[in-house]
Structure 1
Amino acid sequence: MNAVVENATAPRAPATAPHATHKFKLLLKREFWEHKGGFLWAPLIAGGISLLLSAMAIVVGLVAAHRSGVADELEVDGVNINGLDLGSLTSKMDATEMAQFAQGIDLTLILSSSWPFIVMSFVVFFYCLGALYDDRKDRSVLFWKSLPLSDSQTVLSKVVSAVVVAPVIAVAATVATMFGFLLIISVVVLAYGGNPLTLLWGPASPLAVAASHLAWIPVYALWALPTVGWLLLCSAWARSKPFLWAIMVPLFAGIFVAWFDLMQLFDLATSWFWIHVVARMLLGTVPGSDLLYRDNAGLESAEGLDALFANMSPAGQLSSLAMPELWVGAVAGALMIFAAIRLRRWRDDG
């Protein structure tokens, strides 16, 4: 009896407060589940549509080529190919032609699998634009502020979702689309007398293309910060129509600078402001936009596809990390994110 009384009156150990990283992990899960359609399904559906359209285009092209070959024998490099015998065609290629053929395959893989990236750029843009505004619009910001969650954790979870979670999922969807496209054309090659292992998978470099996509993720995370910071700042500040504020302020600033030729004060052309300020504020979520700012000093001798693949290789992707424009923009984006955090502390439209 005494033991029971002692156990009943014994003080309970205080509950351990959840660690800050646990809270942040839960916030990331919240962002993912609330925007699962944009983050996950949109890139996957875009990749599926790309594969469907590619398959349809291949069928139409093969039917047209088959009719041409039946009407009169198709002649390529002196080889008469009746019925599209790909094995006979490729056996007559020399080393240079095979290298060009392999580059053509890689370029086709990149283009056919780019749809998830295109969709992701729009998803991230509009996600950031509504990330802080929507909570104030539906008044759910009061509920979230009542929880033991800091404004810094909330805003940073949205930043990480935009610059890490979304591109990682988009890369996964892109790689899956790329290998799906390879499987489709492998079936076609088999059907027309070719060996896909030697004709496609050997010459092509799907693993290198996938590695370049993975190397692009940290570049995108930093390159997109100015746009993400600007959109979050507009989302936290605007009482209505954040899209118009986000678009019109940079555009009118560019027009104002061009009208009065203010960049002459710094001995710079007006185009500098449009390229390094307006474009960085609005187009940072577009994958590959950093290619336009790279210094290709080491690629003067490279032409055409050689220069393109050099830029898109893993080393070429990571070379963007040495660009001053990237780090200056990242600092500017971090300052705007900090301002968005401060605004969220008192801006609830109440």
Structure 2
Amino acid sequence: MVEATLDVTTLVGYHYRIDDYYEVGREKIREYARAVQDFHPAHWKEAEAAVLGYSGLVAPTTFFSIVAMLANRRLFESVITGYEGFVQTDQVFELFKPVVSGERLTSDVELEAIRRIAGKDLLTVKNTFSDESGEVVHVMHTTVVGITGDDVDPGVGAAMAAVLMHGVDFGIGAGAPTAPVGPIEPAPVLPLSEVSRARTPRTALAFDEVAVGDELPPRTASLTRGDLVNYAGVSGDANPIHWNDSVAALTGLPDVIAHGMLTMGLGAGFLTEWLGDPGALTRYSVRLSSFTIVAADSIGSVEFSGRIKSLDPVNRTATVVIIAKSGGKKIFGLATAEVRLA
């Protein structure tokens, strides 16, 4: 097994722009909404989306992980190489404009920061998505831990190669980067769309109807292996720890686990179902602390609850704390959302 051969701290600020746009498809929105069990009608029916003022089906909050997965392949397959894999720890979604079907997005990728904690590299990648007008509609900050050969069974690379679909490359055991790295050019500063902060939200509850300490209606989501395989196909996250027992065991996991982004998608749907307007969510931040086990012969579950932590009467916004538990353990170490209310 090959250890990381590059001082990755020298890559902070590395940036590139994808040379093709991503078109948000009507049926892709429905596929993704089904995969994260988000049945808000604005993701499914144009007439229902129009009631909220949208010109097409609205992309769910975590839909942008699909676009990021495609955009980040170059970074993780040919630039940040030498690790045996990556484990997601933190995710922040900043939403500046609701994105609807038919829109074309441009993706910028930047290695935003690197920290070393307890001998591990924590890498934060920033994805900036802009629309055809050149304004930023969504920003994602993803933090992952780089896994070295000391952390996994030596046979994991061969095991993954034997089960992965063709055309998928996790860069397992790769050596030095094959893509030229320097000189590092700064990422462009793009204007932020003001739509999400300026539009009148059409939420189920008005600001004057809520109070600090109010609890959201709880929700329990069930997950089967079929759900995990479906999410892998829809999202593009084909890591076999989410569907193959042997690979999961070789990486030290007790069983197959649900995608972290899948559990975040479930949590976002839990929140926007209460809100009534997906476009009223302006920030969603999750720190993963554990995982949801989905055994081959049983159904996994995630229990969601939440409460209003604080209110801002000037901007008519609320900060919501979200709790997610599975198997009696908190899978979200800290999760918060900022929402605008009517």
Q: Same fold (TM over 0.5)?
A: no
Largest Rg, 1 or 2:
1
Whose strand proportion is higher, 1 or 2? 2
Higher relative contact order (CA 8 A, sep 6+): 1
Normalised by the length of structure 1, the TM-score is 0.29
